[in-house]
Amino acid sequence: MTATNKVKNLQPRLMNYFAKLVATKKLAHAYLFAGPEGAGKRELAVWIAQGIYCEHAAAGRPCLECSECHRIAAGNQPDVVYVAPDGLSIKVEQIRFLKDEFSKSGVESNKKVFIIENAEKMTVSAANSLLKFLEEPSGQVVAFLLTTQPAALLPTIVSRCQLFELQPLSARQLTALLEAENVPREKAVLLGRLTNSLERARQLAQAPVFDKLSGSVCQWYLHILQNDWRCFVEVQTKLMAEVTNKEDEKILLDLLLLLGKDSLELTNGEKESAFKKYQTRFAEQLAGISSARVAEGTELFLQTLYLLRINVSFQNTIEALTLKLCRCYHG
Ligand SMILES: [Zn+2]
């Protein structure tokens, strides 16, 4: 799937808005796109840049087929320059480089676009250097600053830009996008509930441990709901055996929190579980447990976050959770 298909689904309203500005040549010279990871900030900026240079643009919308569109998508168009943090920050040398690029003669047209990712990571000197640039735009420059944390940018920078807040994706939108990328429906539904970032969902979809771990955690939880002692064994033989690093721990933790939330929602009449394969079996078991106890169980899932934050070991936390859930549901 191309970046543009993504934007088409993600931000149709903003795409219409910017296509008109491109077509009427009324783009301002600095925009700030703020929004969570995966909301399509970069894709939108790239799409607008493609609209500016495309050989067959129609009403400001790029064709996505021509060489200009391809070069921009690949980062090979000299008039469209990307800047991203070099290590932890965007340094003043990077902004100076940007200015030099733009002052060079022989670039391919008068119009220039730059896209600064994680703009909040600019050092103060980089931000000040950019500020001068924004104040005296040389020629026709359009700047797109992208950030997840607009509050972390210098106010002087923000005030030079038009701010657009990109909304996070809904679970339904995310599920549909994943299905369009051939992720099976069951998994797409689960991922859509687990995160609101398309990037994170894609990462998880490809993580080798994900399918195994999501299956094991459901089986473990079903045994807890059934008051089956095998849940205690499974902490060791399944969950801990499958989790091999911090990233796996994070995936397991996210799945646990979702199980807690999902149980409460199923008890409260939600029709579609995030865990489709187990939905019927979960619902059957939960029907035999009072809603007060289910709510208490959800609290126990949330407590794992606290325990991990105060450095209780991961395995101890999961073992304690297993015991507490069994007592809560069946005690
Ligand atoms: Zn094109």
**Which of 90, 2, 102 is CA-nearest to residue 46?**
2
Ligand 1 center from residue 70 Cα (angstroms): 7
**Which of 77, 138, 52, 143 is CA-nearest to residue 103?**
138
Ligand 1 center from residue 59 Cα (angstroms): 12
Ligand 1 center from residue 1 Cα (angstroms): 17
In the chain, the percentage of residues whose pLDDT exceeds 90 is: 71
**Which of 185, 123, 199, 189 is CA-nearest to residue 157?**
123
Ligand 1 center from residue 53 Cα (angstroms): 7
Specify the pLDDT at position 4.
Answer: 46
Ligand 1 center from residue 284 Cα (angstroms): 54
Pairwise CA distance, residues 22 & 12, whole Å? 15
Ligand 1 center from residue 63 Cα (angstroms): 4
Specify the pLDDT at position 100.
Answer: 81
C-alpha gyration radius of the chain: 24
**Which of 296, 316, 294 is CA-nearest to residue 304?**
316
Specify the pLDDT at position 138.
Answer: 60
Q: Where are the alpha helices (DSSP H) in 24-91?
A: 41-53, 67-74
Ligand 1 center from residue 203 Cα (angstroms): 29
Q: Residue with structure tokens 């830009």?
A: 161
| Cα atoms found within 13 Å of the Cα of residue 164, Cβ hemisphere only | 21
Ligand 1 center from residue 326 Cα (angstroms): 60
Sign of torsion over alpha carbons 214, 218, 221, 227: negative
Specify the pLDDT at position 2.
Answer: 47
* Maximum C-alpha span of the chain: 77
Low-confidence ranges of the chain (pLDDT < 70): 1-9, 104-110, 136-139
Strands (E), the chain: 30-34, 80-83, 111-116, 140-147, 162-165
- Please say whether the beta carbons of 285 and 225 come within 8 A: yes
Ligand 1 center from residue 18 Cα (angstroms): 16
Tell me which residues have their CB within 5 A of the ion that is ligand 1: 54, 62-63, 66, 69
Ligand 1 center from residue 78 Cα (angstroms): 16
Ligand 1 center from residue 108 Cα (angstroms): 16
Please provide residue 291's backbone torsions phi and psi, each rounded to the nearest 5 degrees.
Answer: -65, -30
Ligand 1 center from residue 167 Cα (angstroms): 27
Ligand 1 center from residue 84 Cα (angstroms): 25
112: which strand partners? 141
Ligand 1 center from residue 146 Cα (angstroms): 23
**Which of 114, 43, 107 is CA-nearest to residue 82?**
114
Q: Residue with structure tokens 């429906």?
A: 185
Give, in degrees to the nearest 5, the angle at Cα 120 between 117 and 122. 85
Ligand 1 center from residue 177 Cα (angstroms): 23
DSSP one-letter code for 169:
P
Ligand 1 center from residue 110 Cα (angstroms): 18
Q: Report which secondary-structure segment, H or E, holds 168.
A: none
Domains and CATH numbers, the chain: 3-165 (3.40.50.300), 207-330 (1.20.272)
| Cα 30 from chain centre | 24
